Structure 1
């Protein structure tokens, strides 16, 4: 069910957003063991949409997994509201709901609180930033006990255990 508290940022800059990000945390969706060492790369496409490449290590198969998608803006491109497609004609909300002024971290959500990600330009976020983002996610209706912290090359992304 959509939550009214999911509000995309109004001052989004796609050109600053492109590039490599570490996936710091997410709410698990689907079957199988969670990916570790996961990264997301965004590129600005000629039509103004964002190309998305995801990569991560699957602990169950001991293999790297890669996926591709496209996020198209819903409305003005300076509003962080998008619809993303990773599998054919199926689209889902892909919204930047919080972003660091220097684009060092970002919080993304779908159309519901079951779709949640924290991204960072570095494999670790400091504890103060983590606490602030988890608190903000809770205010948006995210069940924070469901957040899975993604290990990056043996490093806990929160910077502590």
Structure 2
């Protein structure tokens, strides 16, 4: 589904999210006894969500082992109306690691998305898996908490390299409400922000 309609609508009325970034409840537990999916925000205004986000904390992922600090995400609107994703970080060797991908929403809220970094035939390959769920979003889009349908990942994104004390408290509350544990999140080192990594709790 194209995201262009959400950008147009936001100009008349007002992302992803990580980040991110806000909550309608996602699908509940299935009849097989599977756990309910994490709650998603009611709606993400894609136009406001676009731009640069700093990763201030995350549940450690294998692909981030190379990152020493300054993990960031940049979201842009593509010509096709989807969201372009560009993730960067400073590696332990002093170089910059970059990966690009694409995100497409899975429902009208634009709060549940599938992000793909795999290209076949010049196009990104997408599935119906909600691997980017904006479960918490600041009303002013200053921070976002993002997870996936299985709660295996978690990212705290911010427009600035560091959160205020009040923002940290709000983020921890969102993390708990989403069925995640703040102690599983590790602080991301950022120039202008945290200089040492530790648990978010």
- CA drift of 1:33 comes to 4.2
The alignment partner of 2:189 has SS state of: coil
The alignment partner of 2:151 has SS state of: coil
Establish whether residue 129 from structure 1 lines up as the match of residue 161 from structure 2: no
Segments of structure 1 that go 5 or more residues without pairing to the other structure are none
Establish whether residue 143 from structure 1 lines up as the match of residue 143 from structure 2: no
The alignment partner of 2:62 has SS state of: coil
Quote the Cα distance in structure 2 between the aligned partners of 1:104 and 1:134: 15
Q: How many residues align?
A: 156
Indicate the residue corresponding to 2:89 in structure 1.
Answer: 56
TM-score normalised according to structure 1 size: 0.85
> Is the Cα–Cα contact under 8 Å of residues 162 and 192 in structure 2 kept in the other structure?
no
- CA drift of 1:62 comes to 2.4
- CA drift of 1:102 comes to 1.1
Of the candidates 45, 54, 72, which is equivalent to residue 39 of structure 1? 72
> Is the Cα–Cα contact under 8 Å of residues 37 and 149 in structure 2 kept in the other structure?
no
Of the candidates 105, 109, 116, which is equivalent to residue 147 of structure 2? 109
> Is the Cα–Cα contact under 8 Å of residues 3 and 141 in structure 1 kept in the other structure?
no
Larger Rg: 2
Quote the Cα distance in structure 1 between the aligned partners of 2:192 and 2:43: 35
> Is the Cα–Cα contact under 8 Å of residues 8 and 79 in structure 1 kept in the other structure?
no
Write 1 or 2 for the structure with the bigger share of strand.
1
Of the candidates 88, 96, 104, which is equivalent to residue 72 of structure 1? 104
Quote the Cα distance in structure 1 between the aligned partners of 2:134 and 2:112: 7
Indicate the residue corresponding to 1:24 in structure 2.
Answer: 56
